[in-house]
Amino acid sequence: MSGAFREREPEGVVSPAERAAAELAATWSVGPDGVWAAPGRVNLIGEHVDYNGGRCLPMALTRVTAAAVRRRNDDRVRLSSDAPEAAPFEGRLTELGPGAVDGWAAYVAGTLWALREAGVDVPGMDVAVASDVPVGAGLSSSAALECAVALAAAGLAGRTDDPQLRHQVVQAAIRAENEVVGAGTGGMDQTVAMLAEEGAALLIDTRDFSTAPVRLRLADAGLVLVVIDTRVTHTLADGQYAQRRRDCEQAARELGLAQLGEATADDLERLTDPRLRARARHVVGEIGRVDRVVELVAAGRMAEIGPLLDASHASLRDDYEVSAVELDTVVAAATGAGALGARMTGGGFGGSAIALVPEAVVADVERAVVDACARRGLTTPATLVVTSGGAARRLS
Ligand code: GLA
């Protein structure tokens, strides 16, 4: 059993909200005006389609990043985190844009900058964050960070928490990642962090970013979702993400389409470059799998989505080429030990996989993924049983 982290924490663990408030007091010597939080996510299916006008089906985790904030009477922004490697940051509101900040603070500074650009009257503030979303595991700890602080800043600015604000926060967080942090994102992570509903996955149609909750009822089906964190992130991942986006744009151009998500299976034959054809085959196939999964889940046939998860993984591994030996190993081990289906989740090149597992064999699957990695001399993975949590919110 790996058990490095599990969804049900032992008694007495201090929550991210309490840790954030303690960090605010310890670093900036102030108490909070309020504490806000936003969740990490896993994507059930619909990978690398959110920048192609496709559909994806992520769900929010119950794990969150919390932001404790205190309004200031000047134009300064001071940020700190209780993560040991995250150095504090101080700057002026007018100094938060592209090129001004790097490291973890760029996610926060960039989001505050983009919110201001969008017309939200962000005040000077002291911010402290704490998280129980594992960082670097492909569970969108960055979107959780951006969305928690952005909602907090809007709250301090006196903005009502309504759908319009939530969409503004999503757009600001996407802009921050693309223009300030310099990491590509298609918007799935920020959208689910702001709009998720507890107990449901969120169907996102990235043609217009409209959303619809899809109730999962996993427990009724005797099923559990297990996240397997390979604890490995391969370098060059950022460059590879941008390269995949360029491949998709080129394929769409060659087909005369605005976005590759509009392509049909017949269109694929018209792509002469084998690499572009393989990328497009993934995108077209994956969008079809999302639609099929949504139909099955809505019909209460959750157990039948397993083969679609397996097919998604194979497509990401062979056609989209974003998997990694660690991901392939844990996916094969999970299905070999009784998971109904498993796939890498998120951007790839390491990070996490998910497995749909009958309750009775969860321990077998957890043991199998650890053993399989040990046999191949790979880093020991950690497992996390997840349930679907709610969207970003004010906690106190
Ligand atoms: C990362 C990005 C998302 C999405 C996934 C792949 O998580 O942030 O926008 O593109 O990769 O599905």
* Distance, CA of 82 to CA of 22 (rounded, Å): 9
Q: What average pLDDT score do residues 287-316 get?
A: 98
| pLDDT at 236 (0 to 100) | 54
What percent of the chain clears pLDDT 70, i.e. is strictly above it? 96
- Domain 216-386 maps to which CATH number in 2.30.30.790, 3.40.50.150, 3.90.550.10, 3.30.70.890? 3.30.70.890
* Distance, CA of 118 to CA of 160 (rounded, Å): 15
Cα 210 to ligand 1 centroid, rounded to whole Å: 17
| pLDDT at 207 (0 to 100) | 98
Residue 140 CA, closest ligand 1 atom number: 7
Both ends of the chain: CA-CA distance in Å?
37
| CA distances to 169, 233, 387 from 16, in Å | 21, 24, 18
pLDDT band of residue 72 (cuts 50, 70, 90) is very high
25-44 per-position pLDDT tens digit: 999 999 999 999 999 999 99
137-167 per-position pLDDT tens digit: 999 999 999 999 999 999 999 999 999 999 9
Q: Is the pLDDT of residue 229 over 90?
A: yes
306-353 per-position pLDDT tens digit: 999 999 999 999 999 999 999 999 999 999 999 999 999 999 999 999
Which part of the chain is CATH 3.30.230.10?
16-213+390-394
Q: Per CATH, the architecture of 16-213+390-394 is what? A: 2-Layer Sandwich (3.30)
Q: Which two tokens stand for residue 210?
A: 């409209």
Whose Cα sits closest to atom 1 in ligand 1?
347
Q: What average pLDDT score do residues 189-206 get?
A: 98
Q: What average pLDDT score do residues 278-297 get?
A: 98
Count of CA atoms in the C-beta half-sphere (13 A) of 143: 29
| pLDDT at 2 (0 to 100) | 39
pLDDT band of residue 3 (cuts 50, 70, 90) is very low
| pLDDT at 13 (0 to 100) | 80
Pocket test for ligand 1, best of 44, 47, 50 (most atoms within 8 A of CB): 50
Place of tokens 């017309």: 119
Helix (H/G/I), strand (E/B), else coil: 196: coil
Give the residue with greater pLDDT, 382 vs 184. 382
Question: Which residues contact ligand 1 via a Cβ below 6 A?
Answer: 43, 47-48, 50-51, 185-189, 346-347
Count of CA atoms in the C-beta half-sphere (13 A) of 199: 4
b/e map of 338-371 (b: 16 or more CB within 10 Å)? ebbbbbbbbbbbbbbbbbbbbeebbebbbbbbbe
* Distance, CA of 35 to CA of 127 (rounded, Å): 10
Which part of the chain is CATH 3.30.70.890?
216-386
List residues with catalytic annotation: 189
| pLDDT at 4 (0 to 100) | 43
Residue 347 CA, closest ligand 1 atom number: 11
* Distance, CA of 227 to CA of 116 (rounded, Å): 36
| pLDDT at 234 (0 to 100) | 78
Cα 214 to ligand 1 centroid, rounded to whole Å: 20
Please provide the size of the chain in residues.
Answer: 396
Residue 49 CA, closest ligand 1 atom number: 12
